[in-house]
Amino acid sequence: MSNSQRIEDSVRETIISRPDIILDDKEMMHALIAANERAMGGNIIDLRGIAMERLEARLDRLEDTHRSVIAAAYENLAGTNQIHRAILRMLDPLEFEPFLKDLGGEVAQILRVDVVKLVLESAVNDNEPVVRRLGDVLSVAEPGFVESYLSAGREAPLRQVTLRQLQQGDGRIYGDKAEWIRSEACLKLDFGPGRLPGLLVMGAEDPHQFTPQQGTDLLSFFAGVFERAMRRWLA
């Protein structure tokens, strides 16, 4: 018996003992089906083969969908953990100034944003000592600023969370960092009856970090916790 015959027998025995090797190999199955179609001739339509091709195409689409769903689930879980970590860090300080400094420091780092700015509507001007000390994270604006900034001159219902892309940031909020801000998340804050609203703004250099197509559930939750924390300090 020749060497080539021994190799063929070996392959044959392997296939007989483990046919799943062939069945699980997509390229080999395609080759076998193509060989079968050539053997049948050009005037015969193999409906079974057509059905198999369609089933394979559907399976590929289902696998792609499955991968997308898993990726979205992991991304949502990561986002949830990120927001939870930021909230826990935000609630650590026992005094107002450390609370705000952490907001622009470790909280911003956890959220992976480049700038966090709290805007409070008030008659107090920016020359007040506390505003000067916290100028990196706190700014004061005239009453009506929040609604004007969020609406951008358009008549539309204001949402608690607004995500948008920018040509550049607004200098009234971002100061000298405005020119490289390309997207932002604006969280409208309600401090309770009799108090003027506020605005928590997260700015990013990445133009795709905040877009109108993204979900806002996690940021709405963050805004709700931040409102309650601020009410404690403003009481």
Q: Do 195 and 234 form a contact (C-beta atoms < 8 A)?
A: yes
Per residue of the chain (235 residues), give pLDDT as tens. Answer: 444 455 577 777 777 777 777 767 777 777 766 666 666 655 555 666 666 677 777 777 777 777 777 766 667 777 788 899 999 998 888 888 888 888 888 999 999 999 999 998 886 665 566 666 776 888 888 888 999 899 876 766 678 899 999 999 988 889 888 999 999 999 999 988 888 899 999 999 999 999 998 888 899 999 999 999 888 887 6
pLDDT of the residue at 86: 92
Q: Where are the domains of the chain?
A: 95-234
| DSSP per position, 164-193 | EE-SS--HHHHGGGGGG--EEEEEEE---T
Q: Do 199 and 223 form a contact (C-beta atoms < 8 A)?
A: no
Which fold is adopted by the domain 95-234? Beta-Lactamase (3.30.450)
Q: Which residue from 195, 206, 180, 87 is spatially nearest to 146, judged by alpha carbons?
A: 195
C-alpha span between 14 and 2 (Å, rounded): 19
pLDDT of the residue at 14: 74
Q: Where are the alpha helices (DSSP H) in the chain?
A: 3-17, 20-23, 26-40, 47-90, 96-104, 106-111, 129-133, 145-151, 171-174, 217-234
pLDDT of the residue at 181: 94
